[in-house]
Amino acid sequence: MTATSDTQAARTNWRDAFAVYLQPRVLIVLFLGFSAGLPLALSSSTLSVWMREVGVDLGTIGLFTLVGTPYTIKFLWAPVVDALDVPVLSRLLGRRRGWLVLSQLMLMAAILVLALSNPKYSPLFVVAGAALLVATASATQDILIDAFRVESLDEREQAAGMASYVAAYRIGMLISTAGALYVVSAFELLGTGKDAAWSLGYVVMAGMVLIGIVTTLLATEPARSAQAAAEHAAHTGENPLKRVARTAYSAFSEFLTRELAVAVLIFVILYKFCDAFAGAMTTPFVIDLGFSRTDYANIVKGVGLAATLIGGFAGGFVARAYPLVTCLWIGAFLQMASNLVFTWQAYVGMDHWALIASIIAENFTGAIGTVIFVAYLSALCQSPLHTATQFALLTALAAVGRTYLSSGSGFLAKETGWALFFLISAATAIPSMLLLWWLQVRGHFQRLGPAKVVAGSD
């Protein structure tokens, strides 16, 4: 083969690789990724800025990570969306899309409730309750989007869909952090009081949920849903509770009877803990250094967005180019390194260029790590009969670190100071690395095969 033909072949491969990102199903997954990433920060980091500005102490802000509990127990109601249909909506839109639209309408309503729960005037249990509603609706939407993504994309589209989903997810998070702070500041510039500006900012974020609703309406129901619909029709007279219980038992028992199942579940909990522990306090840290919310938003919106996009697609490349276990090692070290960057930031203090470097490191490494982790969770879903429920179980366990293990991060930051806090948070990566090595030497990753999403029906 000549050099010219090699060059032409390379160009063709690049065109084919790029073209798959423009496939309708991949684009739908991209916009659903944005919809999934949007609400998370509204009940966590963005809410922490609001509470910090009205004088809520760091310890209480740290405890508010507990409102993320629905993300850790969503597997309990995942069998419901697998086994049952939504009246009217499922008949009009299909099994997956009917549930998805319902969850998105619930999410919009919950964000509006949180918008009216000003932490300056409302009792904190009211604010926590509103945030809990947002997290519950968001977790339900996650269940449906994960199932829709797994069932919609064919094998050729899986890598592109995964990279697009994660990049868009991170963008959604940026919109609900930096974007929300921009909106609040804009309302203040227009003469709106600070309290009203925060509430209006959350109203705007509620309106952003319409992007996900429109995407769902434009999408087509996965072809495999027809098989499940036929099965549901065949069991029309069966008690709904019995159907849900049967679905749950089959999904969980299939996973838990696998070799090294308990160790795998512990690893899923610990792998992102390092990232989550530091992330719970990153926003209050930046505010405490003396940066304004606008300064933070400008940096996150600009370089943070670019770093997220590049990191998301870099993660997709890494996931395709290297064995799964190698990818997990890369992600683990990157997460630890990003925390050490914030230790350096604490020593530097209020330096805009240092903050830019820190935000680039956080978003770039975070996007890569998320793509790699999603690849691993997807590879664990080996049974096509239980994809949605098992994926919900795994992502729920992955949220344990963010929700429970990180709940004391505010108290630790108060006692140690910021520099030592981020040093300790970097060290929290060590247990997951030890477990990663333990699973590797026992052949766990060889048994998983390729790092791809297993498409299947329920």
- Cα 406 from Cα 149, distance rounded (Å): 29
pLDDT for the residue 150: 75
CB 318 within 8 A of CB 364: no
User: Are 131 and 111 a contacting pair, CB within 8 Å?
Assistant: no
Tell me phi and psi for residue 134, to 5 degrees. -60, -45
> Is 65 exposed, middle or buried (CB count within 10 Å of its CB: 0-12, 13-18, 19+)?
buried
Query: What DSSP line would sit under 88-129, residue for residue?
Result: THHHHH-HHHHHHHHHHHHHHHHHHHHHT--TTTS-HHHHHH
Residue 174 · residue 305 · CB < 8 Å: yes
* Mean model confidence pLDDT for the chain: 82
- Provide the number of structural domains found in the chain: 1
Residue 126's pLDDT is 92
In a domain, 8, yes or no: no
Q: 404 lies in a domain?
A: yes
Determine the average pLDDT of the residues in 28-52. Answer: 90
Residue 305, pLDDT score? 73
* Lowest-confidence pick of 14-18, 132-136, 158-162: 14-18
Helix (H, G, I), strand (E, B) or coil at 357: helix
Give the closest residue to 377 by CA, choosing from 269, 221, 247, 225: 269
Of 143-147, 179-183, 402-406, 431-435, the poorest mean pLDDT is in 402-406
* CB distance 432 to 273 below 8 Å: yes
Looking at the domain assignment, is residue 11 inside a domain?
no
Longest dimension (CA), the chain: 74
- Closest C-alpha among 428, 381, 394 to residue 409: 428
The secondary structure element, H or E, covering residue 376 is: helix 352-380
∠ CA 316-320-321, nearest 5°, is 115
Q: What is the per-residue pLDDT across 64-107, written as a single tens digit (0 to 9) for each?
A: 888 888 888 888 888 888 777 888 888 888 888 999 999 999 99
Distance between the two ends of the chain, CA-based, in angstroms?
Answer: 47
For the chain, percent of residues with pLDDT exceeding 90: 24
Which residue range forms the structural domain that includes residue 108?
A: 17-448
Non-local CB neighbours of 258 within 8 Å, separated by 6+ positions:
264
Number of H helices, E strands in the chain: 26, 0
Two structure tokens written together for 113: 């409730």
Q: Is residue 293 part of a domain?
A: yes
Does 245 map to a domain?
Answer: yes
Over pLDDT 70: what percentage of the chain? 85
Is 104 within a domain? yes
User: With left for phi above 0 and alpha for psi between -120 and 50, is residue 449 left, alpha or beta?
Assistant: left
Residue 408 scores a pLDDT above 80: no
129: closest CA among 58, 203, 47?
47
Residue 235, classed as helix, strand or coil, is coil
pLDDT in tens, 420-447: 988 998 998 999 999 999 999 998 988 7
The verdict on residue 456 lying in a domain is: no
Please name the residue that has the structure tokens 């890494």: 318
Angle at 63 between CA 409 and CA 333, to 5 degrees: 35
Q: What is the CATH number of the domain that holds 196?
A: 1.20.1250.20
Q: What is the residue whose two structure tokens read 């719970």?
A: 280
pTM equals 0.73
Q: Is residue 254 part of a domain?
A: yes
- Name 283's Cβ contacts closer than 8 Å, sequence gap at least 6: 45, 46, 48, 49, 52, 177, 296
Q: Where are the alpha helices (DSSP H) in 224-351?
A: 225-234, 240-256, 261-271, 273-289, 293-299, 305-321, 324-348
Q: Phi first, then psi: give them for residue 277, nearest 5 degrees.
A: -60, -45
Q: Is the pLDDT of residue 281 over 90?
A: no
